[in-house]
Amino acid sequence: MPKFDYALNYAQLDLRAHPELYRVGVGEQGVLLVQPYKAELLPHWRFATPELARESSEQLYAMFLAYLEAGDFVGADMARKFLQMGYTRSRRYANHRGGRKYDGPVPADKKGQSGAHGRAELPRSPEDPVKAESARIFKAKWAQAEANETYAAAKRAHKARYG
């Protein structure tokens, strides 16, 4: 599978106008880069409490469905990534007080990419039940998006057409 291309100038690139440049990548790759979707989705992404997580995940899932309805696979995939990120960030805060999972800064050449990049994982804190509940809420909506047959077909079609 082609990897997400971090070399593109996402600050200047409109991927709604150029979906052929979009690569699904792995997991949440590009979630905070791809425009105009970042600007549309990020204001709705909240996980501090289960109430905010529920409201956020429902709004993001509604946007996911609206992108699918409009035939906008890139938008739907970005909304799916925001749901996934709601889960992973909630879990990170549930496991690590303050949200820091790794020791030290991310190397400059690895910014925007996922993974530890040679850094040591910090010890886990006692689980935060509030953030754990937020994670559960996001995970359910993320699973619902992943199971959507229209999304799965659009993902296959996008990969077949653009790689």
The three state secondary structure string of the chain is CCCCCCCCCCCCCECCCCHHHCCCCCCCCCCCCCECHHHHHHHHCCCCCHHHHHHHHHHHHHHHHHHHHCCCHHHHHHHHHHHHHHHHHHHHHHHCCCCCCECCCCCHHHCCCCCCCCCCECCCCCCCHHHHHHHHHHHHHHHHHHHCHHHHHHHHHHHHHHC
Q: pTM for the complete prediction?
A: 0.87
pLDDT tens-digit map of 62-119: 999 999 999 999 999 999 999 999 999 999 988 887 676 777 776 666 665 666 677 7
pLDDT tens-digit map of 52-61: 999 999 999 9
